[in-house]
């Protein structure tokens, strides 16, 4: 085996939720031994944290009928069914075409769903309500999609194709997201770069997205590829994630590569040790896993069963991570952790994200026990949606004006 073969093999092993979980656990075990530079653990606070999250779930979902964690929840922000509005305007679609449109919408929306910052908001013209952060980005992305700007075929406005995506400009996005000097949205150049990268991927990867020709080179064609991949009407969640990581890997900013493979949302931490060229590296694949959760629902709605969603991990983002700091389970070891603004590749942020992944796995079982449910009826996707993400938002609002996270991260529109 050559060095390049060994590098490529190591890189491919990083392209999985298993690698995310295993390497986050390495950092967690280092924290248990108090060998980390920036955080310590106070696991005595775990019972109180479990009760806090369970209380949020019971308040929001008294019958414990929690939906899965996905982008589709945000499309109904303010109680308005925006997907239903689009669905009613489709011209007698087949079940497969509905799936394609849903893929078109949700894939673009997830790529636009990096942190918005504290200052930005979006006014929904349909309801007059104002939304911020992830819900605001969701509502804005639905309006962008519904405008037809993402389709190069005027006769079929509700789609996202390579030609239209490649033609988008920053002024287009600024107008669509109501960005002004008084309403700034951080990371706009990064968001536009992802959409342009998506256009290139859709055009080039005909194995996943079909034709290269005009409007036929369409984001939603991935739906057909995954349906064809299903075995006896079911598909493993890891297969969806693999398609996402394989198909969209080229569009992530080229931060780090190994064996010629763009590693995407992968960073360095000294506590991660392996016996291959990927030593010191930990992947998170946050947006890719968020997208995988969000693609599962359209597939299931069209009759494809998605299995083993619990094979995915929780999401290494600031609501889940902020929850564990605000509840005292994660304790910063020095003032710079909360006083400074950190780049996404800083060891502080990497450490925080890894511990978040490990703690999400560890809170799931006692939370189910507290609620009287089991893994089958209350998988991790429900723990995230009903519990940790919502609880993280709530306690942030209780602790800080504006509800921002306890750690400030310099987002460039492609990670958080």
- pLDDT for 244 equals 94
State the maximum Cα–Cα separation within the chain, in Å, rounded to a whole number. 62
What are residue 258's phi and psi, to 5 degrees? Answer: -145, 125
Distance CA 378, CA 86 (A): 30
- pLDDT for 190 equals 87
> How far, in Å, are 339, 340, 403 from residue 335 at the CA level?
6, 8, 20
User: Residues in the chain, how many?
Assistant: 416
208-212: long-range contacts at Cβ-Cβ below 8 A with a sequence spacing of 24 or more? 208/243, 208/246, 208/247, 209/162, 209/247, 212/162
What are residue 313's phi and psi, to 5 degrees? Answer: -105, 170
- Residue 408: name the closest of 327, 321, 334, 333 by CA: 321
Distance CA 319, CA 74 (A): 15
Q: Considering its fold, how many domains does the chain have in total?
A: 1
The 10s digit of each residue's pLDDT in 9-40 is 999 999 999 999 999 999 999 999 999 999 99
pTM comes to 0.92
What is the average per-residue pLDDT within 97-116?
A: 92
The 10s digit of each residue's pLDDT in 248-295 is 888 877 679 999 999 999 999 999 999 999 999 999 999 899 999 999
> Is the residue at 201 inside a domain?
yes
Distance CA 165, CA 307 (A): 32
- pLDDT for 143 equals 96
Q: In the structure encoding, which two tokens stand for residue 189, read together?
A: 């150049």
> Is the residue at 16 inside a domain?
yes
131 forms beta bridges with 122
User: Are 43 and 52 contacting, i.e. CB atoms less than 8 angstroms apart?
Assistant: no
> Is the residue at 108 inside a domain?
yes
> Is the residue at 404 inside a domain?
yes
Range of the domain at 250: 3-410
> Is the residue at 416 inside a domain?
no
Distance CA 245, CA 249 (A): 5
DSSP 290-317: HHHHHHHHHHHHTTPEEE-GGGSPPP-S
- pLDDT for 250 equals 80
> Is the residue at 67 inside a domain?
yes
DSSP-assigned letter for residue 118 = S
Question: Percent of the chain scored above 70 by pLDDT?
Answer: 98
The 10s digit of each residue's pLDDT in 117-132 is 889 999 998 889 999 9
> Is the residue at 415 inside a domain?
no
Positive/negative CA dihedral, 267, 192, 178, 244: negative
73 — pLDDT class (breaks 50, 70, 90): very high
> Is the residue at 141 inside a domain?
yes
266 forms beta bridges with 283
């Amino acid at each position: 085996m050559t060095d390049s073969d060994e590098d490529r093999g190591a890189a491919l092993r990083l392209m999985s939720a298993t690698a995310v979980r295993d390497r986050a656990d390495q950092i967690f075990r280092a924290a248990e031994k108090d060998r980390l530079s920036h955080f310590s653990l106070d696991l005595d606070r775990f019972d109180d944290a479990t009760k806090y999250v369970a209380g949020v779930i019971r308040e929001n979902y008294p019958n414990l009928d929690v939906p899965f964690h996905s982008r589709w929840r945000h499309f109904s922000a303010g109680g308005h069914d925006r997907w239903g509005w689009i669905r009613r305007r489709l011209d007698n679609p087949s079940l497969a075409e509905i799936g394609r449109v849903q893929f078109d919408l949700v894939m673009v929306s997830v790529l636009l769903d990096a942190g918005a910052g504290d200052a930005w908001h979006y006014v929904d013209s349909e309801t007059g309500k104002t939304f911020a952060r992830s819900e605001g980005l969701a509502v804005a992305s639905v309006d962008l999609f519904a405008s037809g700007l993402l389709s190069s075929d005027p006769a079929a406005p509700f789609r996202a194709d390579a030609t239209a995506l490649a033609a988008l400009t920053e002024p287009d996005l600024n107008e669509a997201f109501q960005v002004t000097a008084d309403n700034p949205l951080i990371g706009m150049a990064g968001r536009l770069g992802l959409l342009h990268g998506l256009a290139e991927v859709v055009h080039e990867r005909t194995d996943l997205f079909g034709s290269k020709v005009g409007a036929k080179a369409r984001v939603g064609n991935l739906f057909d590829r995954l349906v064809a991949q299903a075995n006896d009407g079911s598909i493993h969640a890891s297969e969806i994630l693999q398609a996402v990581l394989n198909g969209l890997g080229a569009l992530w900013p080229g931060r780090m590569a190994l064996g010629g493979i763009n590693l995407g949302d992968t960073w360095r931490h000294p506590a991660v040790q392996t016996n291959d060229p990927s030593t010191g590296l930990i992947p998170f694949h946050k947006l890719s896993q968020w997208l995988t959760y969000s693609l599962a629902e359209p597939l299931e709605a069209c009759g494809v069963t998605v299995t083993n969603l619990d094979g995915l991990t929780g999401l290494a983002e600031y609501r889940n991570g902020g929850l564990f700091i605000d509840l005292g389970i994660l304790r910063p070891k020095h003032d710079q952790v909360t006083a400074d603004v950190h780049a996404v590749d800083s060891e502080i942020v990497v450490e925080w994200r890894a511990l978040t992944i490990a703690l999400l796995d560890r809170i799931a079982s006692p939370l189910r026990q507290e609620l009287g449910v089991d893994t089958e009826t209350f998988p991790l996707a429900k723990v995230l949606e009903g519990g940790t993400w919502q609880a993280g938002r709530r306690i942030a609002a209780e602790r800080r004006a504006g509800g921002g996270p306890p750690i400030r991260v310099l987002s460039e529109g492609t990670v958080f």
